[in-house]
Amino acid sequence: MDDNEMWQAVQTCDPAYDGEFFYAVQTTRIFCRPSCKSKCPRRNNVEYFKSSAEAEVAGYRPCKRCRSDLPQYDPDRDQAEARSSLTTISVTGKSLTSS
């Protein structure tokens, strides 16, 4: 995989590349998955890593949006599950607060 292919994956937030590489933004010191929905960085500020461990050793911290430190985290799935739970609670009339 070359630099152009990885950059294209970052620009399009392509989940097919998750686990293949991570990208880090030098100005923020944060690393992300290719599918991260964060603002697209400037290409000249991006560095690529084969693993999250390599990015952390290089001094980057995991993204709080895409949770690049958690291999099994799928932000789209987890958000859908959370919305589904909230819908179920509002439909059944259950209260989130204690009486």
Active site residues: 32
Q: Please provide the distance, in angstroms rounded to a whole number, between the alpha carbons at the two ends of the chain.
A: 57
Classify residue 4 as exposed, middle or buried by CB count within 10 Å of its CB (0-12, 13-18, 19+): exposed
Which helix (H) or strand (E) segment holds residue 49: the answer is strand 46-49
List beta partners, residue 25: 30, 46
